[in-house]
Amino acid sequence: MSDSCPPGDITALLHAGLLVSDLARARAFYESVLGLTRYPGRPDLPYPGAWYALGDGQQLHLMQLPNPDAGRVRPEHGGRDRHIALAVTDMAALKSRLDAAGVSYTVSKSGRAALFCRDPDANTLEFVEVN
């Protein structure tokens, strides 16, 4: 597989959207626990939400909308569930923040410097350490 893409090919993931049931609770997790900063350019949409800039034009969108999967049993290890992966530069610092907030997590089964946790709505987040 080539690293360059011909015109018209998919070249990047611009944003990921996650459904949340309580925007205030979700914002507390993403802002206070994970340390993300809200992106101010979210347009006026017909539902509550928050956007976060992740760098290089990428964003995370929280949308307070009904979740068709609410109440379903999720796998214990987030790596075996649908998830998004986010890069972190200091895994130890992230673990400290999660521990301090009482957020449980599992480490990657592959041996990579990665861990998985769930947000308050059971959305799975993978964090991969990059340098």
Domains of the chain: 15-66+74-129 (3.10.180.10)
The confidence band for 56, taking pLDDT boundaries of 50, 70 and 90, is confident
> Global pTM?
0.88
The mean of the pLDDT values for the chain is: 92
Rounded-to-integer distance, Cα 51 and Cα 61, Å: 4
- State how far the alpha carbon of 95 is from the alpha carbons of 14, 62, 104, 126, 129, in Å: 26, 23, 10, 12, 11
Give the model confidence (pLDDT) of 74-125 as tens digits. Answer: 988 888 899 999 999 999 999 999 999 999 999 998 888 899 999 999 999 9
Closest CA to 80 of 47, 109, 57, 101: 109
Rg (CA), the chain: 16
Q: What angle do CA 81, 87, 93 make, to 5 degrees?
A: 100
Higher pLDDT, 38 or 113: 38
